Amino acid sequence: MAATSAEVRRQRILQVAKGHFERFGFRRTRIEDIAREAGIAKGAVYLEFESKDVLLHAVIEAVLAETGRRYAAEVMGQESPRERLRATLRFAYRELARDALLERLVREDPELTVLRSLAESGENPRKADAQVEMIRGWVREGIERGEFRADLDVDAVPFVIGLLRFLHYHTGIITTGDRISRERLLDAIIDIFIAGLSAPTPTPPSPGKRPGRGSKR
């Protein structure tokens, strides 16, 4: 079904607003500039979004919805829970490198005021709880399959992953001077994290040795 003119206008506002928030950040973005570039009156923006905060929330939600569709297509089909977690972090780092919006907001607002307000609004707390339980389910599955250590703090793993996702924004000080690329550093973080989750591989017996009593001379 073809989109209505109101839907087209809303999507145009979101598209233009995203570009402004990326370039100028939240504080320096002005509704009148968005309206001008979108080719509509300033009042038309406020008919759709009652404030700049509401507009930013809508932009972020649109970005996250599209990201969620790509995540489902790329990650959810992995059979191994260990590989799902590995793919989750790789996907997150790639998406954060591809989309400048969230990085701009984090740099401008280290306390994450805007992102916290979004996380606490509407259905987002319920969605976040569902994501936490999904990751915990993967960890339990990995333990049952022998992929993960049985002594893991299952409840904490989703929050560790959440913290690791934001390391993407804090690699600059480590990667100065071309000592190591950001991509190599992030790959190493993922490998070390997954190794820490993984169950130890059984050590095969040494050749020539038999279990049981020692041999006599």
- With contact defined as beta carbons under 8 Å apart, do 31 and 46 qualify? yes
Q: What would you measure as the largest C-alpha separation in the chain, in angstroms?
A: 98
- Non-local (6+) Cβ contacts of 13 within 8 A are 34, 38, 40, 45, 48, 49, 55
**C-alpha dist (Å) from residue 24 to 14, 32, 172, 199:** 15, 14, 21, 47
Q: Give a yes or no: residue 127 inside a domain.
A: yes
Handedness of CA 173, 174, 179, 184 (dihedral sign): negative
Q: Give a yes or no: residue 12 inside a domain.
A: no
Pair of tokens at residue 147: 């992929």
- Digit-coded pLDDT (tens) for 125-142: 999 999 999 999 999 999
- With contact defined as beta carbons under 8 Å apart, do 63 and 15 qualify? no
CATH number at residue 187: 1.10.357
- Digit-coded pLDDT (tens) for 17-72: 999 999 999 999 999 999 999 999 999 999 999 999 999 999 999 999 999 999 99
Q: What are phi and psi of 137, to 5 degrees?
A: -65, -40
Range in 68-72, 81-85, 116-120, 157-161 the model is least confident about: 116-120
Q: Give a yes or no: residue 202 inside a domain.
A: no
Residue 192 pLDDT > 60: yes
Q: Give a yes or no: residue 158 inside a domain.
A: yes
Residue 2 has a pLDDT of 57
Q: Give a yes or no: residue 184 inside a domain.
A: yes
Q: Give a yes or no: residue 167 inside a domain.
A: yes
Confidence bin at 99 (pLDDT 50/70/90): confident
Query: What range defines the domain where residue 181 resides?
Result: 75-197
Q: Which helix or strand (DSSP H or E) is residue 113 part of?
A: helix 113-119
Amino acid at 114: V
Split into its structural domains, the chain has a count of: 1
